[in-house]
Amino acid sequence: MRLTDPERDEIAGTARRLLTERSSSAQVRSLLEDPMGFDPRLLAEMVDLGWGASHLPESMGGYGVSLGDTYPVFVEMGRALVGGPLSTSALVAGGVLAAAPNRSLAEAIGSELVAGTSSVTVAIAGTHGHYTPAGLGVEAMIVGTTVRLSGTAHFVPDASAAQRAIVFARTGDGVVAVAVDLSGPGVTVADTEFVDRTRRAGTLSFAGYETGLDDLLAAPGEGATLLDAGVDLGATAMAMDSFGVGEVVLERTTEYVKQRFQFGRPIGSFQVMKHRLADAVLLVETSRVAVIDAAEAVSPLDPAPAMSRSLAASTAKSYVGDAMARLCQDALQSHGGIGFTWEHDMHLYLKRVLANQAFYGTSRWHRRRVADLVLDTATAADVSPSGRPRLPADGR
Amino acid sequence: VIDEVAAFDGLRDEVRAWCARTIPTDWREQQAGANHGEFLSFQRWWRDQLIEAGYFVPHWPKKWGGREMSLPEQVVLYEEMARGDAPRNAISQVAVYNAAPAVMHAGTAQQQERYLPAIVGGEIWCQGFSEPNAGSDLASLQTRAIRDGDHYIVNGQKIWTSMARDATRCILLARTNPDVSRHRGISLFVMDMDTAGIEVRPIQNAVGESEFCETFMTDVVIPADNLIGAENDGWAVSQQSLGSERAVVLIGLAELLRRNGRGFLLESVRQWTMPDGSPAIDDPAVREQLGGLYGEVEILRLLLGRMVTNLIRHGGTGPESSVVKIYYSELLQRLMRIGTEMQGLPAQLHRPTVASSGWESRDFLHDFINAYAWTIGGGTNEIMRNIVAEKVLGLPKEVQVPAGPR
């Protein structure tokens, strides 16, 4: 289902109003040292508003609206530096479930996720934070009908808040994706401390964790494809989040240079400030279209074909990630001394976008991923990056 | 990108077939190293093909010889032209996209009768706006036009008057009242280029081409009847002429950058090798750079799609056209710069310039240098950034300092 322009604006407006009120700077700061890092009442409200379900298929209990229309809620969560598992669970895990080959298991977990009774995280990265089959930190041994996990998954978003995890693991026959009950024996969840304190992530360590073949969301031979889908969803989630941060940082910096006087004039009248902020406008406007394109391409209801999906997601991840990081770096500088203090929010914004740059693959890796997709195909010039309705000529 | 455009498959097929039929596959070879005369005769031939097909002034009203194409139809037209590797229509840009809108907006019925049929017939026009001391600061222009009965006497000097030596007419900005503040005392005229007192000297640009000129005016007599709009209102009239059609033309430029710019770069890299003899396309640094460029060119396309969609749905472009201008020009230049760097020494070899080819001549070094036409022309990117900062963000103007020597 697609929404009309006014309906989409309505969703974005609701999100802006709620989060302005409920995730103010003071509220964000009050959660910085909180073990869970989010306000459970706000999470419940966001779930009630359908933010976790709207973009998921009806077979999972979702509302079946394209992510191309609902993406503004995830942008707004970045803007308001919201922590907590909603984006990880609904967007990344939800999207992986929607794409998982084991439909009955995916739909069972998906409906718990949508109902808000269970939060699901996705574990891909190993020790070095890579999102590739070779980089996985968990191994699966399949013996008969038993699946045994060992090793450690690192950088697992919102691990402590999750009841379940989708764990990607190596086997002798390729990658598998396993649905893991985090309360079960044989798995230990530990929080990791990050410089970005607005969100949480941790490790999942497996020692003697056993489950059945029924809990494979993707069997050997199917897992690598699903892993790629997970990377695209995570990459897009990071791009949306950074874009929201970049937009508000541009607004706040513009406001600041208008009211900060030095040499008897607002510093915003100096051309160096103007050009820096004009560059920020460029970065925001170019990022906006990249984010929308990626949201359309990874939409769990109607994802683009894998190649177009990955092109759009990797382009958004690398371009928007770098653009918003540069914008926030420049913005801290534009604020001068006050921007370098703990009490000012600039460092919170900067740390968040720097974390977003690193999660789900670095910009460098994503640019190479684009190259791998386009350089080795004969018709590179004719490939469109997303699968949404195209100018008809493109397909011919 | 644009839903509204999907409805025009028929036109797409028409333009595609026309391109296949009309555009000589060897036009680049023909135009390689062409002298000015050969360039001009090819340009005239190409212009006539466009006129005959109804693609010359597609957006104009039927009564002036146009096809009344809607914006989505124009998108289709320019996309397909780019896809068909159409040559650039270099000689008609000022007439169609600068002079004609001013005449349509502000000209009298007689002026429209006089000029529009001439333009649609292919007359070459030039634009006398910039001066040696009035570039980015156009409103400080000093060319004087003094009323004397039923005519004006014009004295001054213009620069960057593209195609001036071949032009029949010129749209000219001149100061008619030196006593009021800068923008207010300027008028817009049509000046016939065969009038006594006009001297045109071609300027060679940094790639060695001589498309633009200096134009000197000594006691040039312009009939008062050639004044477009009211006296002293020329600034506003000339600003109005920056029509939305030009935003649509950018769609074609984005498509050219995608196909002939990026496409040619990707194709070329496959032929190149690294110092150890391995294919350049296997080098990780090369791959990373190409992967980044690939996305940036797609973003240009998405950005233009958004701008044109806004234009179709809500009418008009705001300062976002400055954003597009900056992004396009710098991406064009960066892509060509990267091509030059990757190709290495062979990129430094002199190759005959391919006239009529625009900014994707398939010679990276030439195209890199030629791209300054876009980062400087049409308002330097520095001025564009000021516009974005002041109009989009509302930042305060710089503190004025007393005027320097003229």
Amino acid at A358: A
pLDDT the model gives residue B6 = 75
Q: Give a three-class secondary structure readout of B93-131.
A: HHHHHHHHHHHHHHCCHHHHHHHHHHHHCCCCEEEECCE
Chain A and chain B share a number of CB contacts under 8 A equal to: 146
pLDDT of residue B116: 96
Confidence at residue A388, expressed as pLDDT on a 0 to 100 scale: 32
User: By CA distance, what is B265's nearest residue in A?
Assistant: A381
Name every residue whose Cβ is closer than 8 Å to that of residue B378 and which is 6 or more positions away in sequence. Answer: B325
B245 is catalytic: yes
Cβ atoms within 10 Å, residue B37: 8
Residues lower than pLDDT 70 in chain B: 1-2, 241-246, 316-319, 403-406
- Does residue B336 contact residue B371 with C-beta atoms inside 8 Å? yes
Contact B302 A375 (CB under 8 A): no
The pLDDT of residue B403 is 67
Rounded percentage of chain A residues whose pLDDT exceeds 90: 92
**Res A4 pLDDT > 60:** yes
What is the DSSP secondary-structure string of A76-124? HHHHTT--SSHIIIIIIIHHHHHH-S-HHHHHHHHHHHHHTS--EEEE-
Q: Give CA separation, B50 vs A152, A355, B69, B164, B357, in Å.
A: 66, 53, 14, 22, 16
Cα(B321)–Cα(B324) distance, integer angstroms: 5
For residue A396, what pLDDT band results from cuts at 50, 70 and 90? very low
Q: Which of B245, B298, B341, B360 is catalytic?
A: B245
Q: Which amino acid is at A64?
A: G
Decide if A269 and B399 are in contact by the 8 Å CB cutoff: yes
A289 chain-B contacts, CB cut-off 8 A: 299, 302-303, 305-306
Instruction: Please report, to the nearest 10 degrees, the dihedral formed by the alpha carbons of residues A206, A212, A214, A220 taken in order.
Output: 60
Task: Please give the pLDDT value at position B81.
Answer: 93
Say yes or no: B230 contacts chain A, CB-CB below 8 A: no
Q: How much is the pLDDT for B71?
A: 85
Q: What is the pLDDT of residue B270?
A: 95
For A375, the closest of B3, B287, B323 (CB atoms) is B287
Residues 6+ positions from B312 with CB-CB distance below 8 Å? B2, B4, B70, B71, B72
DSSP three-state, residue A179: strand
Q: What is the pLDDT of residue A389?
A: 30
Classify burial at B98, counting beta carbons within 10 Å of its beta carbon; exposed 0-12, middle 13-18, buried 19 or more: buried
| Chain A residues lying within 8 Å of B385, measured CB to CB | 274-275, 278-279
* Separation between Cα atoms, residue A211 and residue A203, nearest integer Å: 19
Instruction: Give the nearest chain B residue to A376 (CA atoms).
Output: B281
How far does the CA of residue A381 sit from the closest CA of chain B (Å)? Answer: 5
Picking from A278, A381, A392, the nearest residue to B388 by CB comes out as: A278
Q: What is the ipTM of this complex?
A: 0.92
Asked if the C-beta of B272 comes within 8 angstroms of chain A's C-beta atoms, the answer is: no
Mean pLDDT (chain A) is: 93
Q: Does residue A91 contact residue A229 with C-beta atoms inside 8 Å?
A: no
Compare CB distances from B393 to A254, A374, A392 and report the shortest one's residue: A254
Q: What is the pLDDT of residues A49-96, one digit of tens each?
A: 999 999 999 999 999 999 999 999 999 999 999 999 999 999 999 999
Residue linked to tokens 């009768």: B113
Q: Closest-CA residue in chain B for A287?
A: B299
B199 touches chain A (CB under 8 A): no
Which amino acid makes up residue B212?
A: F
**B304 in reach of chain A (CB within 8 A):** no
Of residues A318, A370, A389, nearest to B3 (C-beta):
A389
- pLDDT > 90? residue A150: yes
Token pair, residue B318, equals 């705001």
Highest mean pLDDT among A110-119, A320-329, B201-210, B354-363: A320-329
pLDDT at B153: 98
Looking at residue B358, its pLDDT comes to: 81
Q: What's the pLDDT at B406?
A: 54
DSSP letter, residue B87: P
Q: Which of A266, A281, A391 is closest, CB to CB, to B323?
A: A281
Burial string for A296-326 (b: 16+ CB within 10 Å, else e) reads bbbbbbbbbeebbbbbbbbbbbbbbbbbbbe
Per the CB < 8 Å rule, is A370 touching B295? yes
> A258 and B399 in contact by Cβ < 8 A?
no
pLDDT, position A21: 97
- Residue B350 has, within 13 A of its CA and on its CB side, a CA count of 4
Contact assignment for B288 to A265 by CB distance below 8 Å: no
- 8 Å CB contact between B90 and B46: no
| CA-based radius of gyration for chain B | 22
What is the pLDDT confidence band of residue A394, given thresholds at 50, 70 and 90? very low
Q: pLDDT value at position B211?
A: 84
Residue A247 has pLDDT above 70, yes or no: yes
Per-residue pLDDT, averaged over A369-375, amounts to: 96
Residues 331-390 of B with CB under 8 A from A: 382, 384-386, 388-390
Residue B405 is predicted with a pLDDT of 63
Who's near B380: CB < 8 A, 6+ residues apart? B135, B136
Average pLDDT over residues A314-343: 98
CA atoms within 13 A on the CB side of A225: 13
Q: Say yes or no to pLDDT of A373 above 50.
A: yes
Name the burial class of residue A272, with classes exposed (0-12), middle (13-18) and buried (19+) by CB atoms within 10 angstroms of its CB. Answer: exposed
Q: How far is B1 from chain A (nearest CA, A)?
A: 6
B180 touches chain A (CB under 8 A): no
* Structure-token pair, residue B326: 């900056």
pLDDT number for residue A382: 44
pLDDT of residue A117: 85
Question: Helix (H, G, I), strand (E, B), or coil: what is residue B322?
Answer: helix
